[in-house]
Chains A and B, each alone.
Chain A
Amino acid sequence: GQSLEQPSEVTAVEGAIVQINCTYQTSGFYGLSWYQQHDGGAPTFLSYNALDGLEETGRFSSFLSRSDSYGYLLLQELQMKDSASYFCGRGNNNDMRFGAGTRLTVKP
Chain B
Amino acid sequence: DAGVIQSPRHEVTEMGQEVTLRCKPISGHDYLFWYRQTMMRGLELLIYFNNNVPIDDSGMPEDRFSAKMPNASFSTLKIQPSEPRDSAVYFCASSFLDSSYEQFFGPGTRLTVL
State whether B48 touches A94 (Cβ < 8 A).
Answer: yes
Contact A45 B108 (CB under 8 A): no
Q: How far is the CA of A95 from the CA of B50 in the complex (A)?
A: 10
Whether A69 is near chain B, meaning CB under 8 Å from some CB there, is no
| Bound Cα distance from A81 to B76, whole angstroms | 34
8 Å CB contacts to A: which residues of B42-62?
42-45, 48, 50, 55-56
**Is A84 part of the binding interface, using a Cβ–Cβ cutoff of 8 Å?**
no
Do residues A94 and B102 form an inter-chain contact, with CB atoms below 8 A? no
Q: Which of A42, A94, A97 is in CB contact (< 8 Å) with B50?
A: A94
- Do the beta carbons of A95 and B43 come within 8 Å of each other? no
How many B residues are at the interface, by size bracket? 20 to 34
A96 pairs with B42, CB closer than 8 A: no
Instruction: For A49, give the chain B residue with the smallest CB separation.
Output: B101
Q: Is the CB of A44 within 8 A of B48?
A: no
Asked if B56 and A95 make an inter-chain contact with CB atoms under 8 angstroms apart, the answer reads: yes
Kindly state whether residue A15 has any CB partner on chain B within 8 Å: no
Give chain B nearest CB distance to A20 CB in angstroms. 15
Q: How far is the CB of A61 from chain B (nearest CB, A)?
A: 17
Q: How far is the CB of A48 from chain B (nearest CB, A)?
A: 4
Q: How far is the CB of B105 from chain A (nearest CB, A)?
A: 4
Most chain B beta-carbon contacts within 10 A, residue among A41, A43, A97: A43
**Distance between Cα atoms of A95 and B91 in the complex (Å):** 15
A98 to B37, CA, bound (A): 11
In the complex, are the beta carbons of A91 and B105 less than 8 A apart?
no
Alpha-carbon gap, A97 to B104, bound state (A): 15
A-B contact pairs, 14 of them (CB 8 A): A33-B101, A42-B91, A42-B105, A42-B106, A43-B103, A45-B102, A45-B103, A89-B101, A91-B100, A94-B48, A95-B55, A98-B44, A98-B45, A101-B43
B residues at A contact (CB < 8 Å): 31, 33, 42-45, 48, 50, 55-56, 91, 93, 100-108
- 4 tightest Cβ-Cβ pairs between the two chains A and B: A42-B105, A100-B42, A98-B43, A48-B101
